[in-house]
Structures are given as structure tokens and as C-alpha cells.
Amino acid sequence: MILQRTLYNKLMQWRKSATRRPLLLQGARQTGKSYLLEHFAKNEFANLFLFNFEKKPGLKEIFKRDLDPQRILRELSLTAGKTINPKSDIVIFDEIQESSKAVTSLKYFSEEMPELVLAGAGSLLGVKLSNESFPVGKVEFLHLYPLSFAEFVEAAGDGLLNEILKTNNLKSMPTIAHDKLWQLLKEYFITGGMPQVVGEYLNLRSTPVEARKRVRKLQRGLLDSYYKDFAKHSGSSNAIHIVAVFENIPMQLAGNLEGSVKRYKFKDVIPGKRGFTDLQGPVEWLIQAGLAIKVKVCNRAELPLEAFSKPNMFKLFAFDVGLLGCLLDLPVEAILNDDYGITKGYFAENFVAQELAAAGNRNLYSWAERNSEIEFMIIEEDFIVPIEVKSGIRTQAKSLQQYIRRYSPYRAIILSKRNFTGKTGTCIQYMPLYMAGRVLPE
């Protein structure tokens, strides 16, 4: 099954850009970076030349002598057994983070061979490059997240629902479509957006019991592979701390008995470690690896939001809602039957964080002032838009009312199980939870 990704369109824009520079595609392991780049390359170019620095460590030797693009391309051609034509072919450096010299070479390819279409991909680019210099201003970045809900709907093969979700400025939803989309959302809560998991689930969808068992098995395998990555790329002692923080994310979310998810608590995550300074390293490692989503907590809702946040004030979410369910060992039947109690609240909030990130909101914020809290704030045309998240049909939002009285936003959003609601006489717009990735008009 070929899973269509919305990032494909951005790759097309990159290719056609008159000011194109080498591309670095980031994202957590197993989100489909290599697959997407190869699919794009085979569709759009005469020849694809793929060089994987993890599978073939010897490739790094080519970059050690000097960083002359002409020489490097000749030696890569010799390695491939075929001449690379910079004017018609595409070159992909996969797992490029394994060679810092290869990363640096992108600067010289940008300056001396701009006609070559060159892309690099890496699962741990953020981790490996965070402490090293890289060619600032000479490369472009894209980030691939797990499949969004809209991508899941498209993969599920319901063309009509897919077209509805793609409608610009959608303000109403037929009841039958709303009910179908809500059912698909529950399925998405089970699978999450990891491509392998989604593909296997949809292939086995006609045998639901087998499909659900397969989903959890694949998710446990993915989690095991991440644990191995921790040890491989951070050292055994650091890996223990990273695992502790990673496995604690669901526990922190589950500590929410009422209201929205609370700010991250550092105590008791790692034995003997009590504060932000002790946990900052493992937390940032997970964020840079794409395995956690940080939402900064602001004590005022004014621009710039960054000025009203502190480094030790944030919420931490899982990067994939399906893996969150697996970490919690949450029965899939409970999700399908809407019978998972307080878990629904933070599942919904985690889903929204994931959707907002995938939609391009790289910096996410929330608001907490006195006794009021708002789950998310995003920026729309220099205005702050507060977003309240509800997992059910009850949409009473006292904190949002406090926010409106204090800051008078031109627009506020409540995401819930309810369908779209027409004009309310206020700035509040009611939208279904599954529309979280479309809260900003395109």
C-alpha cells in the first residue's frame, strides 16, 4: 500500500524553487522519511542515487579528504557504478547524521553546484546536529511527522470524506459524515500515524481482531527499536535516563484527573533527580529526536509568547497517539467503545498537539494564569488564537471565558465531539476534534 503524504507537495515546491538549496528532511525513526524521498525521486527524476551512511559507513571516507563537490560527485559516481548527472538526477544522503562532513558538504554543493538536486534525511538529525555546526543559510529543512488524521482518512480509501476534509474554510459537516469521521478518529487513536502500523492495519481491516493484535505487536516492536536507539546514540548511562523520561510521559499525562494536562513535573522521574537541570538533557534529547512534543506554558497571552514562557515550564506529549496507547497498554476495545475514563481527556489533548505540530506549528504554547488554563495557543496573522480541547460533547469552558474577558481575542476555538456549531454571538468557534489539523485556514 502506497501511503500518500502531504509533504510530497512541499517536496515538489522545493524542487521547482528558483532559489533551491540542499534539503534536510528530519523526523523520528520509522515515520517514512526514506520511503517518501525515494517515492518522490522515482516519480520526478531520471535517476535516483541513494547513499545510506548507516548501512555503508565507508561512504564517510569520501568526505574526509576535502569537500570539493566535483570530486565528491565523481567518487560517488564510481561507488554507484554510474555517472551522476547534476542537471537531471537526484542524490539522496540517507542517515546523513552519521557523517558530519557530509552535512558540512551541503554548504559547498549549495554554493558551487546549485543545479544538483540534493536531499539528506536522518532520524536523529536534531540530536546529532544540536551540538555541531551545520551550514546555516545553505540548506532547507522539512520535518516529517507520523501520518496526520487527514492522511489516515485518505489511506483508508473514503474519497468523499477525504474531499470534505480538504475543503477550504469548512464551516459545516453533514451528520453522516461527522459520525463516520468520528469512528475513523477512534481507529486512528488505536493505530496512530506510524506508516508501517497504518499500512498493516488497513490491509487487515476486514478481520478487526487480527488487525488490532497486529497493531499492538508492531507498536511494541517500534518501541523496542527506540530503546535500542537510545543506547546506541546516547551511551548506556544516558540511555537509562532517556528511557525513564520517555516512559514517564504517559504517566505524567495520566496524572491529570480533571481539566487539562498539567505542566511537567520533574520529581521522581529519575531516582535521585529532582529538578529541571537534572532532566533537561534527556527531555531535550527526546524532543530533538522527534519522539516528544513540547508545549510551553505561558503566564500571559500576549505577543511575543516566548517572552512569557520559562524553560522549566512546559507540557510534554507523546509524538504518536497510537504509541501512547501502547505504552499505557490501553485495550483497543476500550477506545472503540469510548470506555477509557479519564484517559480520553489527555488522549484528545495529545492528539491535538500531534495534529498542530504536523500542520506546521513548530512552537506550541499553552496558557496558565491564576486558576485558569487553556490547552493551546497558536498564532494566526499576528493574533493569538486560544484552543480549548474537550473529549466529549460537553463544551462548558470556564477557563476560556476567563481568557476572553481578559484578552478579548477576535477568535477562540473549542474542539470537541460535537459537530460544527453556527454563530454563537461570541468569538467562540466550535469545531469537531478531528479538525484539529485544520484550525488555521489555508
Q: Dump pLDDT digits (tens) for 13-52.
A: 999 999 999 999 999 999 999 999 999 999 999 999 999 9
Residue 412 forms part of a structural domain: yes
- Residue 115 belongs to what domain range? 7-143
More confident residue, 168 or 64: 64
Whether the full predicted model's pTM is greater than 0.85, yes or no, is yes
- Does residue 1 fall inside a structural domain? no
Determine how many CB atoms are found less than 10 A away from the CB of residue 287. Answer: 18
The sheet carrying 140-143 orders its strands as 48-52, 90-94, 117-122, 23-26, 140-143
pLDDT of residue 424: 67
Select the highest-mean-pLDDT range: 146-160, 189-203, 272-286.
189-203
The model's pLDDT over 72-108, given as tens digits with 9 standing for 90+, comes to 999 999 999 999 999 999 999 999 999 989 999 999 9
pLDDT at 166: 81
Q: Which grid coordinates are listed for 148?
A: 496526520
Residues in the chain: 442
Query: What's the CA gap between 227 and 246, in Å, rounded?
Result: 9
Of 119, 143, 167, the residue that ends a domain is: 143
CA atoms 169, 171, 172, 173: torsion sign: positive
The answer, yes or no, to whether residue 233 has pLDDT greater than 90, is no
Tell me what percent of the residues of the chain surpass a pLDDT of 70: 95
Question: Which pLDDT value is given to residue 351?
Answer: 98
Q: State yes or no: pLDDT of 130 exceeds 60.
A: no
The confidence score (pLDDT) of residue 235 equals: 75
Domain tally for the chain?
A: 2
Q: DSSP for 108-175, please give it.
A: HHHHH-TTSEEEEEETTHHHHHTTS---TTT-EEEEPPSPPHHHHHHHHT-HHHHHHHT-TT-----H
Shared domain for 163 and 95, answered yes or no, is no
Q: Are residues 271 and 357 in the same domain?
A: yes
Q: Is residue 268 located within the same domain as residue 358?
A: yes
Which residues neighbour 50 within 8 Å (Cβ) at sequence distance 6 or greater? Answer: 38, 41, 92, 94
* Same-domain pairing of 299 and 278: yes
Residues near 351 by Cβ (< 8 Å), separated by ≥ 6? 149, 189, 321, 433, 436
From 49-63, 213-227, 253-267, 398-412, the region with the lowest mean pLDDT: 253-267
Confidence of residue 442 (pLDDT cuts 50, 70, 90): low
One domain for residues 23 and 161:
no
Q: Which of 143, 163, 192 is the last residue of a domain?
A: 143
